[in-house]
Amino acid sequence: MKNALLMMFLLCLPVLAKAEERDSTVSKRSCLIENDEVLPSFPGGQKAFRVFLDENLRWPEVHAEDCVAGRVICTFFVEADGTCFDFKVLRSLDPSFDEEALRVLRLMPKWIPGSRRGKPVRCKYCVPVRFNSR
């Protein structure tokens, strides 16, 4: 009985694998067609965003003598018109670093909004703000 069940399973395995492969191909194609989505972006791209952060971030005075390094993970929304709002810290480094990261993010210009099916939409965005030791 065990041998018969094992043989049935082994014979069905290639059929199941082929069906799974066919289903994943269909879902990938429909995903590409249905999810015509573009993420929001900083004007000038990622390099320009890093330059903006480097030029505007200040080392917190409380940690002037410390050699602390790390990152603050922040989230915010990019409205359909490119306005950024609702800035929050998702992962903290230290309260003074968190405040500085939020301060700089609030200085950002309007972003290029994200879009879905060619229409601008509100998107949530997550970004690491890095603080490198001196």
Give residue-wise pLDDT tens across range 49-58. Answer: 999 999 999 8
- Write the CA distances from 55 to 41, 50, 51, 58, 104, integer angstroms: 18, 9, 6, 8, 10
Q: So what's the pLDDT on residue 68?
A: 73
Q: So what's the pLDDT on residue 35?
A: 66
Q: Buried b / exposed e across 68-94, counting CB within 10 Å, b at 16+?
A: beeebbbebebbeebebeebebeeebb
Q: Which amino acid is at 101?
A: A
Q: So what's the pLDDT on residue 6?
A: 42
Q: Quick check: 52 and 84 in contact, CB under 8 A?
A: no
Per-residue pLDDT in tens (0 to 9) along the chain, 134 residues: 545 444 444 444 444 444 444 444 444 443 344 568 899 999 999 999 999 999 999 888 766 666 677 899 999 999 999 999 999 999 998 899 999 999 999 999 999 999 999 999 999 999 999 987 65
Q: So what's the pLDDT on residue 86?
A: 97
Task: Report DSSP state, residue 23.
Answer: H
- Write the CA distances from 22 to 9, 18, 19, 85, integer angstroms: 20, 6, 5, 43
